[in-house]
């Protein structure tokens, strides 16, 4: 009977995927994607996930977890598994799975959807669960510590450098996404600005008025945030007030940079902690709302299954389906960043080893489900509208007329009137060239919400979605800068021990300034780049994120081999091989491609030649030297990142070979087994 | 037998509420006090505010949020 049900689930899933893949018509209902995803997840969790947990990792429900053994009431606390699941999911789910699929939708709905499903079930979920398991067995050791103890110092340093670089690039690209959403949008800008005093107010409330009352404070905060969305509309309609918030990209970029620095040096209780509570509630609420709305409304997907841009000529980012779809989706399928969360905090809360599958595999599956919803929200827009919002002026032309003409010539008809009407409906002056994914996602979410929960509030829903994205992008920006600061302080303490005192103010200020300068530089260049910056930064982020996943999978594979499970090493080895191919080919193309939309060096040379020949208009000529330098820097960075991955792979292979040949290796750092007393 | 047993509903609602409180770490101080009484009742307890600030400081000293 049980088997019959799973055969049925498999059949329904296969039918839905087949329907998606073979469909060639005007549009297809989003329910096909929802059903396909649900079946793939069910099978992935119940069959593959369970098999990996039982046979490869051999979870042992009778073995005491560190939370049970150590139980110090601070870090190590045995916790209800649903609570741990909630915390872990909140920690891994950020803006990445919303933005990646939106950008990758330029290839059509099919490639992205398939990779989100396959990548998660065979790669991302396995990575998260395996890292969580190994860290649980090692008293909650961090990824870097496990690398050092199990493989040696090389892996440890590589994980550290990789984490620092990914942090800087990630924050820059997210900063760019918010800037593009706020540019010349008084409503959006005033709403996002208002979130800052609201968070501070809640911070003061939770510290001074009613200490630690998280729930009531968050409810007050959410109400205030919703009022800020409405208030933004009022600001927008005010002839004088709106000019204050009608800012250009460069000004906004400076605001974000200044904000990032101040937020990172303020005490956590004042800004970061309250905003994180608000963004977590907002995130969980919105994700649930979006899932309900998609199921209630069952929107039609208007994007073709596959577009002509799989050849690499795409307007949002240059590069062919392989390898760039895989680099772009990143977080929704497999994210190296999760390995950092899955080692460290979460393992110290797990009450029973048997819960590792549900928490590790399960929460990544949910994250992948969020990516699927982002894909649906992006592809239910008219493709013409989607490309008009997401293409930079450098690709489609600077004027609205030029842009619609270019996009229509690709076979995705769109008119200036249609775009103006849509912008007016959303309460914006224009939606052209709002690159970065957040605005088109907001338009998609607004259309889903308003048709599921009542028409006529389109502008409110749009700005709610912008506020929602901005709030947790700002949380990531602040938390990321802080983590970068700690890592830098730790690294510099080797040179000057006093620098390592994390609360010594000169050290705090200097290290925060260095980290902010790092991402601020990339953000600034992204803003002045006429091609929109996303085209450069997102692939670089994707490469660094997949690289970190590669390092995590190396560590997992090494530990599997060391613990005598060579025949199962493919479970992490296969996704590792795939990621290595993808990142290496992507890096190769980003560096040496002759196509100026793909290759960093050819783009730099092209701009240099144009500058020398005097072909650039004055405002572009002014920033050209910076752009040329940046493209060359990006090439160096991409090569450096991939080289780090290869070094770790070679090091892992060395350790594995020694195991196979019976030579001594570093001892396992697994904590000795303690069996739980038998339950009565 | 009635379709809705009010006692069952009440205990269910209470369970849900305490789950939400735990999820949001709204009950962190109560848990701390309970544990404190059990482990070392002789040591003075932190005030609600001191405990909250301590927790926030500890919580944000590592990687907590990702992309």
pLDDT in tens, A222-233: 999 999 999 999
Please indicate if any CB of chain A lies within 8 Å of the CB of B18: no
Q: Please state the ipTM of this predicted complex.
A: 0.89
In sign, the C-alpha dihedral spanning A99, A81, A564, A567 is negative
pLDDT at A505: 87
Stretch 209-238 of chain A: residues touching chain B, C-beta under 8 Å: 211-215, 218
Query: Before B67, cis peptide (omega within 30)?
Result: no
The tokens of A153 are what?
């110092």
Q: Considering chain B, what is the average pLDDT of its residues?
A: 85
pLDDT in tens, A479-506: 889 888 988 888 888 888 888 887 788 9
pLDDT at B33: 92
Q: Taking chain A, what is the end-to-end CA distance rounded to the nearest angstrom?
A: 32
Compare CB distances from B52 to A74, A211, A335 and report the shortest one's residue: A211
Could you give the percent of chain B with pLDDT greater than 90?
42
pLDDT at A160: 84
**Mean of the pLDDT values across residues A63-89?**
93
Greater model confidence, B60 or A540? A540
If residue A379 lies in a helix (H) or strand (E), which one and from where to where?
helix A362-379
Half-sphere exposure of A170 (CA within 13 A, CB side): 34
Cα gap A334→A443, rounded to integer Å:
26
pLDDT in tens, A439-469: 999 999 999 888 887 666 899 999 999 999 9
pLDDT in tens, B7-18: 888 899 999 999
Q: DSSP readout, A396-441?
A: H-SSHHHHHHHHHHTT----HHHHHHHHHHTT-S--TT-TTSHHHH
**Mean of the pLDDT values across residues A42-61?**
96
Which chain A positions have a beta carbon within 8 Å of B26's beta carbon? Answer: 212-215
In sign, the C-alpha dihedral spanning A58, A62, A63, A65 is positive
Token pair 């982020």: residue: A541
Compare CB distances from B67 to A96, A215, A502 and report the shortest one's residue: A96
If residue A301 lies in a helix (H) or strand (E), which one and from where to where?
strand A300-301
pLDDT at A496: 87
Cα gap A630→A625, rounded to integer Å:
9
Give the range among A28-42, A174-188, A484-498, A649-663 with minimum mean pLDDT: A484-498
Q: Does the pLDDT at position A26 exceed 80?
A: no
pLDDT at A490: 85
Please indicate if any CB of chain A lies within 8 Å of the CB of B33: no
* Residue A680 pLDDT class (50, 70, 90 cuts): very low
pLDDT at A15: 92
pLDDT in tens, A97-156: 999 999 999 999 999 999 999 999 999 999 999 999 999 999 999 998 999 999 999 888
Which chain A positions have a beta carbon within 8 Å of B23's beta carbon? Answer: 82-83, 86-87
Interface test with A, best of B16, B33, B59, B67 (most A CBs within 10 A): B67
Compare CB distances from A170 to B21, B29, B67 and report the shortest one's residue: B67
Please indicate if any CB of chain B lies within 8 Å of the CB of A482: yes
CA distance B50 to chain A (A): 9
Closest-CA residue of A relative to B53 is A269
CA distance A502 to chain B (A): 9
Q: Does the pLDDT at position A395 exceed 60?
A: yes
Pairs of CB atoms within 8 A across A/B: 108
């Amino acid at each position: 009977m049980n088997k019959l049900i799973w055969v049925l689930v498999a059949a329904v899933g296969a039918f839905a995927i087949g329907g998606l893949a073979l469909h060639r018509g005007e549009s297809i209902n989003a329910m096909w994607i929802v059903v396909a995803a649900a079946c793939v997840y069910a099978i992935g969790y119940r069959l593959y996930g369970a098999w990996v947990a039982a046979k490869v990792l051999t979870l042992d429900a009778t073995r005491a977890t560190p939370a049970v053994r150590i139980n110090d009431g601070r870090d190590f606390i045995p916790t209800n598994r649903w609570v741990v699941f909630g915390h872990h999911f909140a920690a891994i789910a950020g803006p990445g799975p919303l933005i990646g699929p939106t950008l990758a939708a330029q290839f059509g709905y099919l490639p992205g959807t398939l990779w989100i499903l396959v990548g998660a079930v065979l790669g991302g979920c396995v990575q998260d669960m395996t890292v969580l398991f190994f860290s649980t067995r090692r008293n909650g050791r961090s990824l870097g510590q496990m690398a050092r103890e199990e493989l040696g110092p090389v892996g440890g340093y590589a994980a550290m450098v990789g984490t620092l670089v990914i942090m800087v690039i990630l924050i820059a690209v997210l900063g760019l996404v918010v800037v593009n959403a706020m540019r010349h949008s008084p409503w959006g800008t005033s709403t996002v600005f208002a979130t800052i005093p609201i968070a501070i107010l809640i911070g003061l409330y939770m510290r001074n008025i009613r200490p630690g009352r998280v729930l009531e404070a968050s409810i007050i905060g959410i109400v205030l945030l919703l009022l800020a969305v409405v208030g933004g509309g009022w600001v927008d309609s005010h002839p004088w007030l709106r000019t204050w918030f009608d800012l250009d990209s460069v000004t906004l970029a400076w605001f974000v940079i200044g904000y990032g620095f101040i937020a990172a040096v303020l005490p956590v209780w004042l800004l970061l902690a309250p905003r994180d509570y608000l963004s977590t509630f907002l995130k969980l609420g919105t994700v649930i709302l979006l899932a309900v709305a998609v199921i209630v409304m069952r929107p039609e997907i208007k994007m073709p299954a596959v577009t002509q841009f799989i050849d690499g000529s795409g307007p949002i980012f240059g590069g062919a389906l392989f390898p760039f779809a895989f680099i772009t989706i990143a977080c929704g399928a497999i994210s190296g960043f999760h390995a950092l969360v899955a080692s460290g905090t979460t393992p110290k809360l797990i009450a029973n080893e048997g819960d590792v599958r549900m928490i590790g595999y399960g929460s990544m599956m949910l994250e992948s489900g969020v990516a699927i919803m982002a894909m649906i929200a992006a592809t239910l827009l008219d493709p013409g509208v989607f490309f008009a919002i997401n293409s930079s002026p450098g690709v489609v032309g600077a004027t609205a007329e030029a842009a619609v003409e270019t996009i229509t010539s690709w076979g995705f008809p769109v008119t200036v009137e249609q775009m103006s009407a849509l912008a007016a409906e959303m309460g914006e002056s224009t939606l052209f060239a709002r690159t970065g994914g957040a605005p088109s996602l907001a338009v998609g979410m607004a259309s889903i919400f308003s048709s599921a929960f009542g028409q006529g509030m389109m502008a409110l829903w749009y700005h709610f979605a912008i506020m929602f994205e901005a709030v947790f992008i700002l949380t990531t920006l602040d938390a990321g800068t802080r983590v970068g600061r700690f890592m830098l302080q730790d690294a510099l303490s080797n040179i000057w021990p006093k620098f390592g005192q994390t609360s010594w103010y000169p050290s705090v200020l200097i290290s925060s300034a260095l980290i902010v300068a790092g991402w601020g530089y990339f953000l600034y260049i992204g803003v002045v780049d006429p091609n929109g910056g996303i085209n450069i930064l997102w692939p670089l982020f994707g490469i660094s994120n997949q690289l970190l996943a590669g390092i995590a999978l190396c560590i997992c594979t090494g530990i599997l081999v060391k613990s005598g499970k060579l025949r199962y090493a493919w479970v992490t080895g296969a996704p590792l091989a795939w990621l290595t191919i993808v990142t290496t080919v992507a890096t190769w193309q980003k560096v040496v491609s002759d196509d100026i939309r793909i290759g960093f060096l050819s783009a730099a040379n092209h701009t240099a030649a144009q500058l020398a020949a005097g072909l650039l208009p004055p405002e572009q000529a002014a920033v050209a030297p910076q752009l040329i330098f940046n493209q060359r820097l990006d090439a160096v960075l991409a090569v450096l990142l991939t080289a780090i991955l290869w070094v770790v792979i070679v090091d892992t292979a060395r350790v594995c070979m020694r195991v196979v040949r019976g030579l001594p290796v570093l001892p396992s750092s697994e904590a000795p087994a303690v069996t739980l007393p038998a339950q009565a | 037998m009635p379709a809705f047993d009010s006692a069952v509903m009440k205990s269910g609602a209470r369970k849900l509420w305490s789950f939400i409180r735990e999820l949001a770490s709204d009950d962190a101080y109560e848990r701390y006090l309970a544990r404190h009484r059990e482990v070392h009742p002789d040591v003075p307890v932190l005030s609600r505010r001191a405990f909250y600030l301590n927790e926030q400081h500890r919580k944000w000293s590592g990687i907590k949020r990702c992309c």
